[in-house]
Chain A
């Protein structure tokens, strides 16, 4: 953008409309960045600013502004991410209720808001009021009976289909990159990959708008993963306003890491959990500076969301639990069982979902994305409506399952047989036998559990924004609550068994089924994503239950062990492998005894390495070499005989330099000799003007010898973020190893298909 303004000074305002002039130093789409070069460019820039700051007051102020620009970007990201999350929460709240009815006094109120000031609410029906009417009441005037039920059912399905169809059309027409969760692609981008347009403004707008639509349509998906994508888009947008970040891809990724933390922070209301999530799951390099910046961004985002106050009621956390009853050591056994369930479910989900996504990629199913979305929405709506636990939104379901049954609850799940003379305060109700409502709630929950397990496998990965935190937590919460009620009733009816006798006396409040739901939710989420520390922190920030850290940790650890026994990859790494992104995972261990010669190109029998010589090739030779091959760079050697390495030249920079030279410099023709040396020799007067390209040459390419073990080479690639590495023997250039070769080699060693690594 800056270069275009230089050329035509009068049109600065409209310059953003022009095509960005390809700059030396920008990268092509679907290529990997060179971390070392970005770092050295940033150091150069910083040194220049520091040395100029001593010259005048204005330069000093400019250097201060440059230092603070990082914090300003974080502030802006926090504000925008918090605002967008507040908008999404409010809109989802309203549109979810729109499927069932409408508020007559003001159509923009959800059910709860509509009945806020009403005096008609009763103890049993907390949300009843005359201003909010179901569709059957509005259209035909009846609210009970079979015809009203069928009409409500039909309209529920129609609204769900309408929302889902609108969402998938918007995604398809305006921003195809807005589908999916976004976290696998963001992980790849943060490891150094370029995907142009993935964090663009249209993607941001469409993802925000369609996220509301798909969550309201009742599909079994969550909004947390897409909110991370939205926050990273905000990060990309604000970092393009400051040249410190817009011109340096390495610095930009620091901002994106912090933005991801802000995204999780507003999704859950968990700032610290967000920072830990960014550290553990999303980021590739996470220096301490990024830790502070992420913390600030997450804090600002949480504060902004709090000030918008989307839930009303001053609720700071999403699923606030109000009980503080202690848990007992003997309960660790069911908690560990829930951990095992979480691990098993995680494995099942990952395997089935990857198989289904692979089928979608390779067969005819992938040709009908809109139809697929409509079918899944129809099936979800048809099966979800009859069961009251799946009819409501998943967040409300989790909230109800996490909460304990005090005297003030009147839902079916809390239909215990009460002692009529009891006068205990609300948070010390002893264990009671289950009434008929609890039994019916149990089998409804069991059906809902099976349904959610099956439908989430088909929902995650469709061409709409979809996350899977909330569905996994719902599955775990349902399983946990059922186990908790089971243990509670067991303790009540058999309080004289050995295991209960010590800690559970009759008339005491021993078992809290809500805690089991929390532990189950954490176990299932850990089993799918393989998060550990960040999961526990997010869970206790979500619920406010600090006493329950140990059970949560036990369940998280158990589910990770069980899930890792079946497969090392979490859901996001599995999707990265499915799509073939060039992501070199820092968690994998390379334990094979291969050497650099086994992996380098050219292999035996292949064409020799395409190199440039330092002073004997003409412009035409270089252009022919570039046109005939598609390598990203060429090593520069002294001469074809000696093959001693001088440096490495990037393909893109060669093209740009030659193009610029042909246009601007006089005398550079196809016969001109290209010089990579410092001082080209004196030429006879009628020879063509030489082309000096030393400035684009990287004089310090990384080299290893041919007997370097691959373990070391992989380590170097990971720690330094290299794109390619040259292989020498006795000082002579032998071959080249690129990141793609490393990934292919690792896939081959793990008996996977090496041809599945795509891109460059």
Chain B
């Protein structure tokens, strides 16, 4: 579906982004649960009472603490008269539940922002990047896998020694180039030659 990506991918991408992203994610996720305090929305006592004689089944929710979480405190108004309360309450089951709304909110928003960032980056790589970059005459064409790694490693040393003196930006470019080459190789192995992962 992206045949042009194969060729356009020879330009740039960044692999230094991802470990930083992971650490930021980890930090953001671990901090909020530690600071979350229990708001009134976060605890409840849920009592489920089945149908009894001619009374239909009902569910009662109330915001009480764990020691008050029983049928007598939560079921209001009591549908049966006083002498039947005990028999009715035997049938009911009450459970104390708690959750953390802050955790849910933070995690969902972080996840959506990560997906949004990846989408934007993917759109940039596929659509915008090939337009702003001219095809570089010095990048090697797609060499087939018969090229042994020995000659590549022997040839890579002089370029490595030459590129050392360049600025930070060009080193980032170099890292991007390497990452794109790696992804290209992976894509050839998995999608085209079906050598791995069937």
A701 contacts chain B at the CB level, 8 A cutoff: no
From B97, which residue of chain A is reached at the shortest CB distance? Answer: A313
Residues B22 and A197 in contact, CB atoms below 8 Å apart: no
Complex Cα spacing A119 to B76, Å: 12
Chain A 243-282 against B: per-residue CB contact (8 Å), 1 yes, 0 no? Answer: 0000000000000000000000000000000000000000
B59 near A8: Cβ-Cβ < 8 Å: no
Closest B residue, CB atoms, query A113: B104
Which chain A residues (116-163) contact chain B, with CB distance < 8 Å?
Answer: 116-119, 121-124, 126
Please give, as numbers and ranges, the residues of chain A lying within 8 Å of B18 by CB-CB distance. 201-202, 205
Main secondary structure of the interface of A (DSSP, over half): helix
- Binary interface profile of B, 98-120, with partner A (CB < 8 Å = 1, else 0)? 11110111011111001100110
Instruction: Say yes or no: A659 contacts B104, CB within 8 Å.
Output: no
For residue A33, give the distance in angstroms from its CB to the closest CB of chain B: 16
Distance between Cα atoms of A176 and B186 in the complex (Å) = 6
Q: Which of A22, A175, A360, A410 contacts B186 (CB 8 A)?
A: A175
Chain B residues numbered 99-145 whose CB sits less than 8 Å from any CB in chain A: 99-101, 103-105, 107-111, 114-115, 118-119, 122, 125-126
- On chain A, the residues within 8 Å of B194 by CB distance are 360-362, 366
Contact string against B for A residues 76-91, beta-carbon threshold 8 Å, 1 for contact and 0 otherwise: 0001100100110011
Count of chain B residues with a beta carbon within 8 Å of a chain A beta carbon? 79
Contact residues in A for B109 (Cβ distance below 8 Å): 108
**Chain B CB within 8 A of A533 CB:** no
Binds B, one of A165-173, A468-476, A502-510: A165-173
The stretch among A388-396, A419-427, A444-452, A642-650 that forms the contact with chain B is A419-427
The reply to whether A108 and B191 contact each other, CB–CB distance below 8 Å, is no
**Does A583 lie at the interface of the complex (its beta carbon under 8 Å from any beta carbon of B)?**
no
> Is A463 interfacial (CB-CB < 8 Å)?
yes
Neighbouring B residues of A109 by C-beta, 8 Å = 104
Q: Which residues of B contact A371 (CB under 8 A)?
A: 1
Q: Does A369 contact B (CB under 8 A)?
A: yes
Tell me whether B153 is interfacial, beta carbon within 8 Å: yes
Could you tell me which residues of chain B, from 140 to 198, have a CB within 8 Å of some CB in chain A? 148-150, 153-154, 156-157, 160, 164, 168, 171-172, 174-175, 178-179, 182-183, 186-187, 189-191, 194-198
Known: A8-B164, A83-B29. A172 touches B1 (CB 8 A): yes
B79 within 8 A of A: no
> What residues on B are CB-neighbors of A119 within 8 Å?
61
Does chain B have a CB within 8 A of A180?
A: yes
- A176 B97 Cβ-Cβ under 8 A: no
Set of chain B residues within 8 Å of A166, measured between Cβ atoms: 115, 119
Residue contact A659 to B118, C-beta cutoff 8 Å: no
Q: Answer whether A201 and B53 are a contact pair too, CB < 8 Å, given A17-B171, A175-B183.
A: no
Question: Are A17 and B58 interface neighbours, CB within 8 A?
Answer: no
Chain A residues with CB under 8 Å of chain B are 7-8, 11, 14, 16-19, 21-22, 28-29, 79-80, 83, 86-87, 90-91, 94, 106, 108-109, 113, 116-119, 121-124, 126, 166, 169-170, 172-177, 179-180, 185, 195-197, 201-202, 204-206, 209, 212-213, 237, 307-309, 312-314, 357-358, 360-362, 366, 369-371, 407-408, 410, 420, 423, 425-426, 461, 463, 575, 578-579, 626, 630, 651, 655, 659, 663, 758
Given contacts A123-B50, A307-B33, A655-B153, list 5 more A-B pairs with CB under 8 A: A174-B118, A175-B183, A177-B196, A308-B33, A463-B197
